[in-house]
């Protein structure tokens, strides 16, 4: 297990990568569709992308199972209730300041979830030529584990290619 | 107004990036300074993201 400071730096790197990627509207839209229509976790989708594009390669079944197990309580007990509150506030008249706060809190919770889903053992190597193949393999693994056809990742992969 | 704020933050972000590059290119870069600058950069990136996704 890496030292706490090293894990902190890795978590920062993952978060910065996610903010950059999510700034591309097509990527954000494709992630949200997978979340809303197929029940997938955006942070796990981003983890698949980050590991591949940072040269850390492919997720194993075990890594993914562990990440899903750690993500589940965050998603179910914290992030989804916060999201429900935020969406309710959005429709309330005169609730704009509270809506902004709820959004900030939800984003903070997303970041905390990211910390817990990073695998304990990470490869450290320069980004490889096969990063895009690793990215597709990671996404396909996640989709297959959740019982979806790998085609479901096509829109996201295409948005990611345009964003790189 | 919002665009001005985002622009200011982007400029600060770029400035910190320059500071990081300067520190890295020094003969004996200070890891603590680099970590601190990277944290500042990430906080600004966070703020930009929140402003851009306010609605």
- Which pLDDT score is estimated for B36? 92
pLDDT single digits (tens) A41-95: 999 999 999 999 999 999 999 999 999 999 999 999 999 999 999 999 999 999 9
Residue B2 forms contact with A (CB below 8 Å):
no
Measured between alpha carbons, how far is A40 from A142 in angstroms, rounded to an integer?
Answer: 9
Cα atoms found within 13 Å of the Cα of residue A24, Cβ hemisphere only: 17
Rg, C-alpha atoms of chain A: 16
Per DSSP, the three-state class of A111 is helix
Q: Do A19 and B50 touch (CB under 8 A)?
A: no
| ipTM > 0.85 (yes/no) | no
Q: Do B54 and A103 touch (CB under 8 A)?
A: yes
pTM (two decimals):
0.86
Low-confidence ranges of chain B (pLDDT < 70): 54-55
Per DSSP, the three-state class of A120 is coil
């Amino acid at each position: 297990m890496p030292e706490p400071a090293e894990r902190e730096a890795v978590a920062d790197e993952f978060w910065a990568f996610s903010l950059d990627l999510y700034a591309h509207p097509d990527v954000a839209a494709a992630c949200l569709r997978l979340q809303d229509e197929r029940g997938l976790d955006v942070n796990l989708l981003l983890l698949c992308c980050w590991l591949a594009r940072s040269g850390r390669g492919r997720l194993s079944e075990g890594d993914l199972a562990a990440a899903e197990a750690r993500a589940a309580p965050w998603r179910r007990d914290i992030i989804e209730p916060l999201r429900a509150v935020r969406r309710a506030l959005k429709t309330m008249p005169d609730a704009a300041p509270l809506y902004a706060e709820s959004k900030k809190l939800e984003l903070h919770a997303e970041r905390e979830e990211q910390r817990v889903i990073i695998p304990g053992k990470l490869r450290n190597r320069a980004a490889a030529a096969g990063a895009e193949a690793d990215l597709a393999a990671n996404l396909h693994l996640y989709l297959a584990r959740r019982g979806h056809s790998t085609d479901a990742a096509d829109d996201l992969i295409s948005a990611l290619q345009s964003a790189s | 107004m919002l665009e001005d704020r985002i622009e200011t933050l982007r400029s600060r972000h770029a400035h910190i990036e320059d500071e990081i590059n300067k520190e890295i290119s020094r003969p004996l870069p200070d890891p603590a300074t680099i970590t601190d600058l990277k944290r500042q950069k990430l906080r600004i990136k966070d703020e930009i993201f929140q402003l851009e996704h306010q609605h």
